[in-house]
Amino acid sequence: MTADRLSTHFAACRAQGRAALITFVTAGDPDVAATPAILDALVEGGADIIELGMPFTDPMADGPAIELANLRSLGSGTKTKDIFALAADFRARHPDTPLILMGYANPMLVRGSDWFADQCKAAGVDGVICVDTPPEEDAEIGPALRAAGVHLVRLATPTTDAARLPAVLNGASGFLYHVAVAGITGKQQAAQTSIEMAVARLKAATDLPIAVGFGVRTPDQAAAIGRVADGVVVGSAIVDIVGSHGDAAAPFVRQFVASLSGALTRTQETAA
């Protein structure tokens, strides 16, 4: 890997005594033309790492907010080539900000894993989260990504017990994404104590940075998680703002993300 933006960023955040802010939006929501300004707003608001969702017709692990974003995007005609163009454009304008593609196996693998991995590499994508490809099916996507120097970020969940964790960690790289609730995106909030116990358990098992997501909607929640985890992921709450404001969403997104990053910074001050 030439320049590992992910490890550089997690290290920088750790040096500042704070968790990384990881923000999610769906590519092409509400349309491809609107996405660059929304991505810029995430960075300007203080996001450390960007997750860009690849829309899919059947996002069965997602709740209503992200499902609607997927349908808005596809309804406006977003194609896979547009997503890689958005990624390459983002990389040109933000050479240092890590970019992760998140989505489902079928759109990623329809032209083969080598093609997908090559496109990721060429567009400057740092990592991939494939929601419906567990370690048992790693052969579908893992080898191609690793050969291209792109991280395959694995998910751990409240149902991932000690017996299963080694399987999840085998081949995981970049960071480990702890899905805080056994459920779909955007719905319930997990109890802080269960998050703290999970993060402690995961940290004991791996040196990878631990990011926590699913159900994180407010600066206070982000701050609470930021005290224990290496990264905090916020998705549905941002996607809802895009849903409400459409192609005028960028300033509202920037403001909300700034409130999240501000909360994480204050965590550092109180912790210091």
Partner 1 sequence: MTDTIALPNSLRSQPDANGHFGAFGGRYVAETLMPLILELEKVYRAAKADPAFDEEFAELLRTYVGRPNPLYYAGRLTEALRAKAAPGKGAKIYLKREELNHTGAHKINNCIGQALLARRMGKKKVIAETGAGQHGVATATVAALFGMECKIFMGAKDVERQKPNVFRMKLLGAEVVPVHSGSATLKDSMNDALRHWVSNVHDTFYIIGTAAGPHPYPELVRDFQSVIGKETRAQMLEAEGRLPDMLIAPVGGGSNAIGLFHPFLDDPEVAMIGVEAAGEGLDRKHAASLAGGVSGILHGNRTYLLQDEDGQITEAHSISAGLDYPGIGPEHSWLHEIGRVKYMPIKDDEALTSFQTLSKLEGIIPALESAHAVAAAEQIAPTLDADRIIVVNLSGRGDKDIFTVADALGVEM
**Residue 98 host element (H or E):** none
Question: Measured from the CB of residue 182, what is the shortest distance to partner 1 in angstroms?
Answer: 5
Question: Measured from the CB of residue 110, what is the shortest distance to partner 1 in angstroms?
Answer: 3
196's tokens: 């703290």
Tell whether residue 216 is a contact of partner 1 (CB under 8 A): no
Beta carbons within 8 Å of 18's beta carbon, 6+ residues apart: 226, 264, 265, 267, 268
Q: Read off the amino acid at residue 150.
A: V
Task: Indicate the residue among 3 and 60 with the shorter CB distance to partner 1.
Answer: 60
Positive or negative: CA dihedral 71, 72, 76, 78:
negative
> Which strands make up the sheet holding 231-234, listed edge to edge?
151-152, 127-130, 99-103, 49-53, 20-26, 231-234, 210-213, 176-179, 154-156
β partners of residue 211: 177, 231
Show the binding pattern over residues 164-203: x = contacts partner 1 (CB under 8 A), - = does not.
x---x----------x--xxx--xx---------------
Tell whether residue 110 is a contact of partner 1 (CB under 8 A): yes
Question: Measured from the CB of residue 25, what is the shortest distance to partner 1 in angstroms?
Answer: 19
Task: Indicate the residue among 11 and 61 with the shorter CB distance to partner 1.
Answer: 61
Tell whether residue 161 is a contact of partner 1 (CB under 8 A): yes
Catalog residues that contact partner 1 under the rule CB under 8 A: 56-61, 63, 67, 71, 74, 79-80, 104-110, 131-134, 136-137, 140, 154-161, 164, 168, 179, 182-184, 187-188
